[in-house]
Amino acid sequence: MSQSLPSLQRNQNEEVELSTVISNQTTIELGITNPTVIQVASSDQDLIESSPSPPPPYETSEEPPPYDPPQRVHFSSQEAESTSCAPSQETNQRDPESESTEVEIMEDSCCYQQRGKLVPLFVVVAIVFISVLCSSYSDLHYYEMGFSRNKLNGKTDSSKVYSSGRHWIGPSHSFKVFKADAHIEYFKELAVFNKEKMEIHITCSLQYFLRKEDLSRLYRKYGVAYKAIMRSTILAAIRNNAAGYSIDEYLKSRTLVAKGLLEAVKDVVDGKCCRASCTDHKCRTGCVSYDTCTDKQRGMFAEVRFLQLQDVKITAEQSQRYLTQVLEQEKKDTEVFKQGKTVTEKETELLRKEVEVLAEEIKQNATVKANLISAEADVSATAVLENARTSGLEIMFSTLNITSSELKKSLDYVRSLNGHSNVNIYIGFSHMVAREGP
């Protein structure tokens, strides 16, 4: 049975037109381009034998065969019912063997066609559903943010700002993308005037970031052309503020100049308002609260964070003039230094002499005080010694029970002589003899 179905479909050159007319009697017209005997094959071999052989290829010298109009074969309503999937009633009057063959072929052919139509339809529906589902998601990179834009009418919904990630916005929407990272502006050899009204050329760069909470306001006011407006505004702020610095500050204090230019640009671009959250972002000192801030105070709805002053150039004439000024100033400073040196030396000599006189005075006063202290100490020591000597003699006289004044004087005299190293004392004679030793 599986081989009979492909055999019935081999004649691909036949074009069949089937039309049904519903009336008192149903008529089915079958148009066949090539006249062929229609019969039901009981086997694959019969179908192969009954199928017409392919026509020979036409040669270029021969004309094509004349057009043969399709023939119409009419069947009755009972015969038309035999083409459906259900078995017809006429098969009951045929040969049982051919009847079973016809019914089986017709049922398999009809059911195969129905299944063949359902499977592609399901595949198409699944493909369409998956395509719509996938196209409903749109991505924003980590350095992007944006609004939802309708691809059908081109309208942009600026009420909601989308951050980086994958978002469900529908198949008919896409993102209008804005940069969430740094916007870099580079100004090469920008001509400005300094404080001395001299034209100089500076090269600088800066980086600013769009504020997410103010992106809707920026889009409504400037649209997608905000970059050109931002650049022209920054350029004007730099030129206006550059006139407040001298050539010496540009050449010697570039950090100070860069900081001043940054603050001037911040006043124009950042405005006076705080960020929506000063915890997550750094707010300027003295800024106005975000909730009470007006659009005029918001600046250009961006934040300038960094500015680099890279190069400062002056003309050759200006350079020569500046060098001449520097040399004259150096000469002047040299003379002033020499004069100051002489004055300083005189003042130093005077101070040295004053210090020497003061030191000599202090030294003499210290010597006098030292001698006085030494004399007072000697007197005090002598007084203490005599007092101790007197007290000792009194104790000794009292202990020895000496009451005679002569004995007291003799004992005091002996003690006085005993205090000299060159005196030799001899005891045991009736009288004492004192003499100096050798």
For residue 180, give the DSSP letter. Answer: -
Query: DSSP letter at 250?
Result: H
Q: Which stretch of 37-46, 95-104, 280-289, 413-422 has the lowest confidence by average pLDDT?
A: 37-46
Q: What is the structure's pLDDT at 431?
A: 53
User: In this structure, what DSSP letter does residue 160 have?
Assistant: E
pLDDT (0 to 100) of residue 349: 92
Least confident of 62-76, 279-293, 310-324: 62-76
Burial status of residue 148 (CB atoms within 10 A of its CB: 0-12, 13-18, 19 or more): buried
* Average of per-residue pLDDT across 194-217: 92
Q: Looking at residue 13, what is its pLDDT? A: 39
Q: Dihedral, CA atoms, 150, 156, 160, 165, nearest 10 degrees?
A: 60
* pLDDT mean across residues, the chain: 76
Q: What is the pLDDT of residue 426?
A: 65
pTM, full prediction: 0.50
Q: How confident is the model at residue 147 (pLDDT cuts 50, 70, 90)?
A: very high
Please give the Cα distance from 41 to 50 (Å, whole number): 8
For range 252-271, the mean pLDDT: 93
**pLDDT-above-90 percentage for the chain:** 39
The CATH number of the domain covering residues in 182-314? 3.30.479.30
Q: Given this model, what pLDDT does residue 8 score?
A: 39
26 has pLDDT over 50: no
Domain boundaries, the chain: 4-52+67-133, 138-177, 182-314, 338-401, 405-436
* Beta-sheet strands, E only, within 110-246: 137-140, 144-150, 156-162, 165-168, 173-179, 183-193, 199-210
In which band, very low, low, confident or very high, does the pLDDT at 333 lie, cut at 50, 70 and 90? Answer: very high
pLDDT at 409: 79
Scan for tokens 């760069």, then name that residue.
Answer: 205
Bigger pLDDT: 319 or 335?
335
Average pLDDT over residues 24-40: 38
CB-CB contact of 156 with 149 (8 Å): yes
State residue 114's pLDDT score. 56
Which residues 6+ apart lie within 8 Å of 8 measured at CB? 41, 47, 105, 109
Q: What is the pLDDT of residue 135?
A: 78
pLDDT one-digit tens code per residue, 269-315: 999 999 988 888 888 888 999 989 988 899 999 999 999 999 999 88
pLDDT value, residue 368: 92
Is 363 a residue whose pLDDT tops 90?
yes
Average pLDDT (407-423) is 74
Q: How far apart are the first and last CA of the chain?
A: 171
- Which residues, in sequence order, are CB contacts of 295 under 8 Å at separation 6+? 217, 221
Q: Which residue has the tokens 């100096």?
A: 436
